[in-house]
């Protein structure tokens, strides 16, 4: 189960893709998730393993700094987590399927913050799966990211995806049980 904001953006993504494998960027209407816009980003598959950010909301700028446009998303992660994330993003585009990463990062003051980060593939003007719609969802009850934002992200877990088996419910005496 993901945070309700993550689920909301996943539901919007599913609705926009309809029966297609993935939704085109042109069908994504930010008005449908306006309250989440500070947390939303779009990243594009670039050349040579780069993932430049095309769009980053205000919360993401508070986490990583205001000069994110064109920055490499992979470079925001700790070195040991970059290759696994790179593989996971490529797999999400190839499937195409959404991906949710549970991550930690420390403030300059040493406090750790937990985040849930959604990556949902969308197609660009070429019609190819070449970008991801994403969401940074803070999970730590303590608000704020410190005076200088957060340091490098550290992957805790990867989950999600349409291809993952969903639990099935059974009914006993009219009650649904797992």
CA distance 158 to 100: 6
Residue 13 above 70 pLDDT?
yes
pLDDT at 174: 53
Please give the structure tokens belonging to residue 60.
Answer: 């993401």
Overall average pLDDT of the 50-75 stretch: 92
What are the extents of the domains in the chain? 4-177
* Burial label, 19 (beta-carbon count in 10 A; 0-12, 13-18, 19+): exposed
pLDDT tens digits, residue range 63-96?
Answer: 998 889 899 999 999 999 999 999 999 999 999 9
CA distance 52 to 57: 14
Overall average pLDDT of the 36-64 stretch: 94
Lowest mean pLDDT of 47-51, 118-122, 159-163, name the range: 159-163
pLDDT at 140: 87
> What is the chain's mean pLDDT, rounded?
88
CA distance 130 to 22: 11
User: Does the domain at residues 4-177 carry the CATH identifier 3.40.50.1100?
Assistant: no
Backbone angles phi, psi at 168, to 5 degrees: -100, 145
* pLDDT tier for residue 163 given thresholds of 50, 70 and 90: very low
CA distance 150 to 111: 9
Residue 159 above 50 pLDDT?
yes
Please give the structure tokens belonging to residue 156.
Answer: 């805790």
Bridge partners, residue 102, by sequence: 116, 157
What's the number of CA atoms in the CB half-sphere (13 Å) around residue 78? 12
Please give the structure tokens belonging to residue 93.
Answer: 């585009």
* Neighbouring C-beta atoms of residue 1, cutoff 10 Å: 6
């Amino acid at each position: 189960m993901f945070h309700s904001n993550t689920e909301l953006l996943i539901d919007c993504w599913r609705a926009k893709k309809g029966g297609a494998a993935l939704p085109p960027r042109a069908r994504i209407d930010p008005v449908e998730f306006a309250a989440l816009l500070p947390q939303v980003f779009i990243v594009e598959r670039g050349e040579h393993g780069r993932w430049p950010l095309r769009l980053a909301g205000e919360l993401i700028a508070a986490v990583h700094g205001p000069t994110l446009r064109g920055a490499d998303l992979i470079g925001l992660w700790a070195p040991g987590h970059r290759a696994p994330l790179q593989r996971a993003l490529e797999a999400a585009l190839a499937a195409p399927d959404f991906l949710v990463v549970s991550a930690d990062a420390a403030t300059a003051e040493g406090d750790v913050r937990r985040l849930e980060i959604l990556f949902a593939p969308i197609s660009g003007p070429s019609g190819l799966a070449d970008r991801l719609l994403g969401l940074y969802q803070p999970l730590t009850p303590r608000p704020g990211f410190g005076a200088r934002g957060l340091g490098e992200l550290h992957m805790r877990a990867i989950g999600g995806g349409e291809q993952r088996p969903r639990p099935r419910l059974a009914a006993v005496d009219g009650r649904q049980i797992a």
